Structure 1
Amino acid sequence: MEFALTDEQRMIVETTRAFVEAELLPHEAAVERTGHLPMELVAGIQKKAMAAGLYAANMPQEVGGAGLDTLTWLLYERELGRASYALHWTCVARPSNILLAGTPEQRERYLMPCIRGETWDCLAMTEPDAGSDLRGMRATARRDGGDWVLDGTKHFISHADIAGFTITFMATGEEETPRGKRKRITAFFVDKGTPGFTIRPGYRSVSHRGYTNAILEFDGCRIPDANVLGEVHKGFDVANEWLGATRLQVAATSLGRAERALALALGWAAERRQFGQRIGKFQGVSFKLADMATELKAAELLTLWAGWKADQGTVTDSDMAMAKLKATEVLAMIADEAIQIHGGMGLMEELPLERIWRDARIERIWEGTSEIQRHIISRALLRPLGG
C-alpha cells in the first residue's frame, strides 16, 4: 500500500475541505438552532457543489458522477464529515450505490434525477419490531396479477420527507433452511404519491438536527412488477452487493468530525491558562491529547486500508466492520474527551463540540450497531476454526 496521496487525491481533499469551510460550516448554527434546513438554501449550495464537481461524486463517470475509486471517495467523505450531517448529505448528495443495480429503465427513472439534483433516494428496511434482525420484518408484498401489493410499516427512514421515492425491502415468502424457516426478501421502488403509500413525520433525535427521519406506511399499496429492484426473493443479495460500502462511509465521516474535535481540543489546550500556565502542560490534559491522536490514527488507517482493499477487490465484511467499529467508537471518545478538556465551555452551543458529541451517538447504531460489527468480526475469526 502506498501511504502518500496522489496529486489528484490531494486536490480532491483540498477542494472538498475548502467547500465545506466556505459553504457548509457558516450555516451549521442556524440548522442546529432551528432543526430545519431550508430548501432554498439547499438549492443554492447544490448548484455550487455541482460546479465544483463534488455532487454525486460517488457515482461512476458513465452516469455523470466523479468516478472516484473507493479510497479517494473515503478521503472526500472524511472532509464532508467535518460539517453538519444535514448540510453535507442533503446539499452534496451521494445517491445510494444500490441504484446502480437497477435496469437501464430504472436507472433512467430513479438514478439520473438523483445525480442531477432533482430529487433524493431513501432506503426503507427498519421496522418497529425489526431493527438489526431484518429477517424478522413483518411488512409484506404479495403478487396480485401483474402487480405487487405492499402492506406494513417502516420507521427511522432517513430523509424520506424530501425523497422522490423509496427503495423498500419487503418479505415476499419463506424458505426452509438448516436453521428453520427464513423469510425471503425483495426490494421495490415505490414512488412518493403512490396510492396506499403514506409518509409521516418520524421522531425527534438528539443527533443530526435537520436530518430528518420518517415513518412509512403501506396499506394496499399497488405497484407494477417493473418496480422490483434485482430479482424477486433476492433483496438481501442486492443489499449485500451494493450497500456494504455504506459502513465505510460512516467510518470516514466519523473521522472528519473526530479530526475537528481534536483540533478544537488542541487549540484550547495551547491557549487556555490555569494555575499560571497553559493547560496543555498538565499531564492530565496532554496525555488525553496523545491518546486521542493515537486512536484517531488507528481508526484512520483501518478505514483507508479497507478502502484500499476494496479497490483491489479483496475487502471483506470483517475489514469494513472493523473500520466502522473503530472509527465510530473513537469519534465518541474524542468528542467526550474534547469536552472534558474544554470544561463547561465544551457543552455550550457557542462551540460545535456539544453537537459533535450528540451526533456521535447515532454512529454506533445505524448501518449496523457496534454489537453487529463485533459479531461480524468474531464470526470471521472463528469460522476457519470451525467455531
Structure 2
Amino acid sequence: MHFAMTDEQSMIVETTRAFVERELYPHEALVERTGHLPREIIQEVKAKAIEAGLYAANMPEEVGGAGLDTLTWLMYEKELGRANYALHWTCVARPCNILLAGTDEQKEKYLYPCMAGEKWDCLAMTEPGAGSDLRGMAATARQEGSDWILNGTKHFISHADIADFAIVFMATGVEETARGPKKKITAFFVDKGAPGFTVRDGYQNVSHRGYTNQVLEFDECRLPSSAVLGEVDKGFEVANTWLGATRLQVAATCLGRAERAFQHAVEYAAERQQFGQKIGKFQGVSFKLADMALELKAAHLLTWEAGWKFDQGTVTEADMSMAKLKATEMLAMVADEAIQIHGGMGLMDELPLERIWRDARVERIWEGTSEIQRHIISRELLRPHGG
C-alpha cells in the first residue's frame, strides 16, 4: 500500500473539497435553522454536481459513473462528509450500488435514471422490531401465482420522502440450518404510488438536520415477479455482495467532519489568548490537540487500509468493522474536545462544531452499532480457535 496520493486522487480530493466549500457550505445555516432542505436548492446544486462530474461518482464507468477504485472513492466521500449530511447526500447523490445487481430491464427503469439525477432510490431493511438482526424481520412477501404480496412495516428509511422507488427486503420463507430455523429474505423493487404501499413521516432526529427518515407500510401490496431484485430467497446474498463497503463510507464521511472540527480547534488554540498567552501553549489544550491528531490519524489509516484491501480482494469483515468503529468513535471524541477548546463559543451555531457534535451521535448506531462492530471483530479473532 502506497501512502502518497496519486495525481488523480489529489485532483479528485481538491475538486470535491472546492465544490463542498463553494456549493454546500453556503446552504448549511438554512438547513440547520429550518431542518429542511428546499427542493430548489437540491435541483440547483444537483445540476452543478452533475456538471462537475461529482454526481453518482461511486458507480462504475460502464453505467456512467466515475469508476473510482474503493480507496479513491473513500477519499471523495471524506471530502463530501465535511458538509451537512442532507446537502451532500441528496444534492450529490450516490445511488445504492445494489442497483447493479438488477437485470437489464431493471437497470433501464431504476439504475440509469438515478445516474442521470432523474430519480432517487431508498433502501428499506430496518423494522421497528428488527434493526441489526435482519433475520428477525417480520415484514413478509408471499407468492400468489406469478405475483408477490407484501405486508409489513419498515422504519428509519432514509430520504424515502423524495425517493421514486424503494429497494425492500422481505421475509419469504424459513430454512432449517445447523443453528436452527432462519428466515429466507428476498429483495424487491417497489415504485412510489404502488397500491398498498404508503410512505409516512418518520421521526425527528437530533442528528443530520434536513436528512429525513420515513416509515414504509405495505398492506397487501401486489408486485409482479419482475420486481424481484436478484433471486428469490437470496436477498442476503444480494446485500452481502453489493453493500459490503457501506461501513467504510460511514467511516470516510466521519473523517471529513472530524478533520473540519479539528482544524477549527487548532486555529482557535493558535489565536485565542488567555492569561497573557495563546491557549495552545497551555498543556491542558495542547495535549487535547495531540490526542485528537493521534486518533484522527489512526482512523485515517484503518479506513484507507480497508479501502485498499477491498480492491485487492483481501479485506475482511473485521477490517471494515475496525474502520467504522474507530472512525465513528474518534469523531465523537474530536467533536467533543473541539467544543471544549472553544469553550462556550463551541456550542453556538456561528460555528459548525455543535452540529458536528450532534451529528456524530448517530454514526455509532446506523450501519451497525459499535457493539455489532465489536462482535464482528471478536468473532473473527475467535473463529480460528473454535470460538
Task: Report the Cα distance in structure 2 between the residues aligned to 1:326 and 1:249, rounded to whole angstroms.
Answer: 13
Letter in 2 for 1:218: F
What residue is the counterpart of 1:60 in the other structure? 60
Letter in 1 for 2:112: M
What residue is the counterpart of 2:107 in the other structure? 107
1:147-171 Cα distance to aligned partner (Å, 9 max, x none): 0000000000000000000000000
1:260-280 Cα distance to aligned partner (Å, 9 max, x none): 000000011011111111110
What residue is the counterpart of 1:156 in the other structure? 156
Task: Report the Cα distance in structure 2 between the residues aligned to 1:154 and 1:309, rounded to whole angstroms.
Answer: 33
What TM-score do the two structures reach when normalised by structure 1?
A: 0.99
What secondary structure sits across from 2:207 in the alignment?
Answer: coil
> How well do the aligned residues superpose, as a CA RMSD in angstroms?
0.5
What TM-score do the two structures reach when normalised by structure 2?
A: 0.99
Counterparts of 1:179-194 in structure 2, within 5 Å, are: 179-194=179-194
What residue is the counterpart of 1:335 in the other structure? 335
Task: Report the Cα distance in structure 2 between the residues aligned to 1:178 and 1:302, rounded to whole angstroms.
Answer: 35
Task: Report the Cα distance in structure 2 between the residues aligned to 1:322 and 1:105, rounded to whole angstroms.
Answer: 38
1:312-357 Cα distance to aligned partner (Å, 9 max, x none): 1111111110100000000000000000111111111111100000
Counterparts of 1:88-127 in structure 2, within 5 Å, are: 88-127=88-127
Counterparts of 1:30-41 in structure 2, within 5 Å, are: 30-41=30-41
Letter in 1 for 2:142: R
Task: Report the Cα distance in structure 1 between the residues aligned to 2:275 and 2:34, rounded to whole angstroms.
Answer: 39
Letter in 2 for 1:379: R
- The reply to whether residue 315 of structure 1 matches residue 310 of structure 2 is no
What residue is the counterpart of 2:369 in the other structure? 369
Letter in 2 for 1:65: G
CA shift at 1:113, angstroms?
A: 0.7
Task: Report the Cα distance in structure 1 between the residues aligned to 2:108 and 2:331, rounded to whole angstroms.
Answer: 38
1:224-265 Cα distance to aligned partner (Å, 9 max, x none): 001101111110111011101110000000000000000000
CA shift at 1:87, angstroms?
A: 0.2
**Structure 1 residue ranges, 4+ long, deviating more than 6 angstroms after superposition:** none
1:111-167 Cα distance to aligned partner (Å, 9 max, x none): 111100011110100000001111111000000111000000000000000000000
1:25-47 Cα distance to aligned partner (Å, 9 max, x none): 01000000001111111111111
What secondary structure sits across from 1:216 in the alignment?
Answer: strand
Task: Report the Cα distance in structure 2 between the residues aligned to 1:49 and 1:232, rounded to whole angstroms.
Answer: 37
- The reply to whether residue 204 of structure 1 matches residue 229 of structure 2 is no
Letter in 2 for 1:264: H
What residue is the counterpart of 2:284 in the other structure? 284
What residue is the counterpart of 1:136 in the other structure? 136
Task: Report the Cα distance in structure 2 between the residues aligned to 1:165 and 1:273, rounded to whole angstroms.
Answer: 54
1:70-123 Cα distance to aligned partner (Å, 9 max, x none): 000000000000000000000000000100011111111111111000111101
Task: Report the Cα distance in structure 2 between the residues aligned to 1:14 and 1:135, rounded to whole angstroms.
Answer: 42
Task: Report the Cα distance in structure 2 between the residues aligned to 1:370 and 1:161, rounded to whole angstroms.
Answer: 28
Letter in 2 for 1:369: T
- The reply to whether residue 220 of structure 1 matches residue 233 of structure 2 is no
What secondary structure sits across from 2:304 in the alignment?
Answer: helix
Task: Report the Cα distance in structure 1 between the residues aligned to 2:238 and 2:378, rounded to whole angstroms.
Answer: 24
Task: Report the Cα distance in structure 2 between the residues aligned to 1:326 and 1:102, rounded to whole angstroms.
Answer: 33
CA shift at 1:23, angstroms?
A: 0.1
Number of aligned residues: 387
Letter in 2 for 1:346: G
What residue is the counterpart of 1:245 in the other structure? 245
Letter in 1 for 2:126: T
What residue is the counterpart of 1:229 in the other structure? 229
Task: Report the Cα distance in structure 2 between the residues aligned to 1:53 and 1:180, rounded to whole angstroms.
Answer: 49
CA shift at 1:178, angstroms?
A: 1.3
Task: Report the Cα distance in structure 1 between the residues aligned to 2:238 and 2:332, rounded to whole angstroms.
Answer: 31
Letter in 2 for 1:63: V
Letter in 2 for 1:294: L
What residue is the counterpart of 1:257 in the other structure? 257
- The reply to whether residue 386 of structure 1 matches residue 383 of structure 2 is no
Task: Report the Cα distance in structure 2 between the residues aligned to 1:277 and 1:129, rounded to whole angstroms.
Answer: 55
- The reply to whether residue 269 of structure 1 matches residue 260 of structure 2 is no
1:171-221 Cα distance to aligned partner (Å, 9 max, x none): 000011111111111000000000000000000000000000000000000
What residue is the counterpart of 2:178 in the other structure? 178
How much identity, in percent, do the aligned residues show? 79
Letter in 2 for 1:185: I
Task: Report the Cα distance in structure 1 between the residues aligned to 2:255 and 2:306, rounded to whole angstroms.
Answer: 14
